[in-house]
Amino acid sequence: MAEFKYSNIEKEMQAYGFDKVIKSHCRMCHGGCGTLIYIKNGVVKKIAGDPDCPINHGTLCSKGIASAQLAYHPDRLTYPVRRVGAKAGGKWERISWDEALDAIAERILNTKDKFGAESIVMGYGTGRENEAAIYRFANLLGTPNVLTAGHFCYGPRIATSIITCGTNPVVDYENDPKCIMLWGNNLVISNPDEYKGEPFSASLSKGAKLIVIDPRLTRAAARADIWLQLRPGTDTALAYGMLNVIVNEELYDKEFVANYVHGWEPFVRRINEYSPEKAARITWVPKNKIIDAARLYATTKPAGIQWGVAIEQQINCADNDRILMAMMGITGNLDVPGGQMLFRPPKINNVGTFGAHKMLAKEQAAIRLGGDRFRLAANFGIINPKCVWDAIIKEKPYAVKMLFLISTNPMLTRANAKKVREALEQIEFMVVSDFFLTPTAELADIVLPAATWLEMDYVGDFWKRHGYLLPRRKAIEIAECRSDHEMLNDLAHRVGQEEYWWDTFEGGLDYILEPMGITWQDFKKMDYIRGDVRYQKYKEKGFATPTGKLEIYSTLLEKWGYDPLPQFREPPESPYSTPELYNDYPYTLITGRRLPGFFHSENRQIPWLRELHKDPVVEIHPQSAQKEGIHEGDWVILESPRGKARQRAKFFEGMDPRVVSAEHAWWYPEKKDPDHGWDESNINILTDNSFANCDPAMGSTHVRTLLCKIYPAKK
């Protein structure tokens, strides 16, 4: 346990007249970055990185620095509101928290009584560390349906790692990996779960070799020793091509394979189906680069694979994750210093315990939407969004009558946005908790004002797999805004769950920390707590899998009726799988490029952040632009068989001319009509959410790779 301390800030406080500084940690994106919050007259005047924090070492991104502009934004929702009149053209009226929660509770109980608890869907996006409280509320209510981003963001990594090696393998930057393979990830901008860009950059500065797998020439790719510019959506084939080299040149760890791997022989047979030549034809990556990258990764020890959601938001989602874990293991890089660590959390009541998953009745879990189709997802309480939209619109397999959405804006962030809009318009009753009246919130019946990270106490990062806990300390209070945890704790008492909640949510924080024998008041005096760090734990007890080994041949997937080995599936739309469609839509569109100031659909009304990036941008190769009559800076139309979106063209030579790259989650808060321009530049109007094109086990929606056409917009 690290003692609480401050780092040389007294002089700065005196120089600028700050009254106090509060240590906390940010949650403007994935969280974890330690912060120093400078207060004067009760107002946040400055936010800086905390140099004592082991996660970010004093660095902080633009989102964290601009947090106060979110908290104090004049358009922010600061009190509960209720719709008066129809969804189209209705008005909002201010109500009290008691009125809001009483009305929500009454609706929940009536809906449960008439249609069953399963007719109520709780939901969140890339959450504000509220997922454990949301699952607790849902499970105790009896609904198995919690709509998350977990089907195609981080959830697949957790679900597949648990059945493969027991927990999520995390790159051990503290112990200086000698080689880093950055696969489908741009962490210096995205700062994803468990990771921040700073330790990665520090490792490169110390001389680590770098391999980058990305269709785009990112800054990291420009710095790489080897850049593999793959065709979007072909990651599994590329990994098999590399493994073919590693296995046939005997560059693997023979002792580890002999003692700790399940399924080696069938895996080798599958590997031998993908020669480097075949992988090159599929991926567009030259054969010699595949061979060189395989040799560099396998022979440079220790090595880590830094992966991201780009490999998960496609039809090969679970198998992409599984094959990379296989590569980590057979090269001897699993659970070793500087490799891919299986970190242990401190002794706490974890997300699963807090979420009360074991308290959901088995008969209710059995009717989870999509559970019979996407067994891997259902095993972890995750559902595919289309299952919810169908249950609202078609009332199949049963009717969904109520949505309670927290920190999510699915009209901008989920595939086939027009179908999402149709479902949200049709739902009988919807509650939203958010910072602003987003396009999704504008369709709700009641909207609750959520608190930012600056306005709450919380045990941060307790759901992650890096082994740290960090205290988030409340710095300010804005009007009537409340944290989602406090709101759910209060609501739970109104729907008969009071036995399982607390007088205030500080009791929930105490519950998380209880196994360590400390309270929230104890923890807030500390900098952080870290779990016990030990290496090669599998030598003592094996891996936490059914066979006790690294399961590159998954016994659970085999039991559920899926291919137990990773397999490559051609993207649902491509020059090869749909050649007739390719004639009309001749470009491969990749979506979801990360931007420094935005977090999915958030922050487009924050002045400092919007100034960084005023318009939605689609990158196009100059050769392709010339062919299509597009000039740089033009507004252009991107079109797929599902619809159209409008973005500005930016010339970019760092992509194959056959590929274009668009940004996601664009809306226009400055447009004061209720639609806020949700359908103008929203790339998810183009994406497909059909079940046939989802990952068969995880239900991941294939949103990253599709076919499109691009042409100048009419002026």
Look at residue 343 and tell me whether its pLDDT is greater than 80.
yes
Look at residue 378 and tell me whether its pLDDT is greater than 70.
yes
- Hey, what's the torsion of the CAs at 594, 599, 605, 610, to 10 degrees? -30
Residues of the chain with CATH 3.40.228.10: 169-341
CA distances from 91 to 86, 403, 464, 682 (A): 8, 20, 40, 25
Tokens encoding 176:
């200086």
**Interval 674-694: pLDDT, tens:** 999 999 999 999 999 999 999
| Residue 62 burial (10 A CB sphere; 0-12, 13-18, 19+) | middle
Residues 449-477: what's their mean pLDDT? 95
Residue 598: predicted pLDDT: 95
Judge if pTM exceeds 0.85: yes
2-71 topology per CATH: Phosphorylase Kinase; domain 1 (3.30.200)
Residues of the chain with CATH 3.30.200.210: 2-71
**Interval 476-518: pLDDT, tens:** 999 999 999 999 999 999 999 999 999 999 999 999 999 999 9
Look at residue 4 and tell me whether its pLDDT is greater than 70.
no
169-341 topology per CATH: Dimethylsulfoxide Reductase; domain 2 (3.40.228)
Look at residue 658 and tell me whether its pLDDT is greater than 70.
yes
| Residue 502 burial (10 A CB sphere; 0-12, 13-18, 19+) | middle
Strand partners, 405: 123, 432
Residue 175: predicted pLDDT: 96
Q: Where are the alpha helices (DSSP H) in 300-408?
A: 317-330, 351-354, 362-365, 375-378, 385-393
pLDDT category of residue 3 using cuts at 50, 70 and 90: low
CATH code given to domain 81-149+362-530: 3.40.50.740
Residue 191: predicted pLDDT: 82
Phi and psi angles of residue 43, each rounded to the nearest 5 degrees, phi first: -120, 140
Residue 110: predicted pLDDT: 98
Q: What SS3 state is found at 583?
A: helix
How far from chain centre, in Å, is Cα 392? 25
Look at residue 546 and tell me whether its pLDDT is greater than 90.
yes
Residue 573: predicted pLDDT: 98
Look at residue 15 and tell me whether its pLDDT is greater than 70.
no
Please state which of the ranges 221-230, 456-465, 521-530 shows the lowest mean pLDDT: 456-465
**Interval 168-213: pLDDT, tens:** 999 999 999 999 999 999 998 888 888 888 999 999 999 999 999 9
Structure-token match 């899926």, residue found: 562
Residues 226-238: what's their mean pLDDT? 98
Residues of the chain with CATH 3.40.50.740: 81-149+362-530
Residue length, the chain? Answer: 715
In the chain, the amino acid numbered 262 is: H
Structure-token match 């779990």, residue found: 531
Query: Which CATH architecture best describes the domain 579-712?
Result: Beta Barrel (2.40)
Structure-token match 């936010």, residue found: 47
**Interval 410-428: pLDDT, tens:** 999 999 999 999 999 999 9
Q: What SS3 state is found at 645?
A: strand
**Interval 266-285: pLDDT, tens:** 999 999 999 999 999 999 99
Residue 85: predicted pLDDT: 86
Residue 5: predicted pLDDT: 58
Look at residue 244 and tell me whether its pLDDT is greater than 80.
yes
pLDDT category of residue 292 using cuts at 50, 70 and 90: very high
Q: Let me know: does 536 contact 255? Beta carbons within 8 Å.
A: no
Residues of the chain with CATH 2.40.40.20: 579-712
Look at residue 1 and tell me whether its pLDDT is greater than 80.
no
Average pLDDT, the chain: 95
**Interval 26-55: pLDDT, tens:** 999 988 899 999 999 999 999 999 999 999
- Hey, what's the torsion of the CAs at 409, 410, 416, 419, to 10 degrees? -110
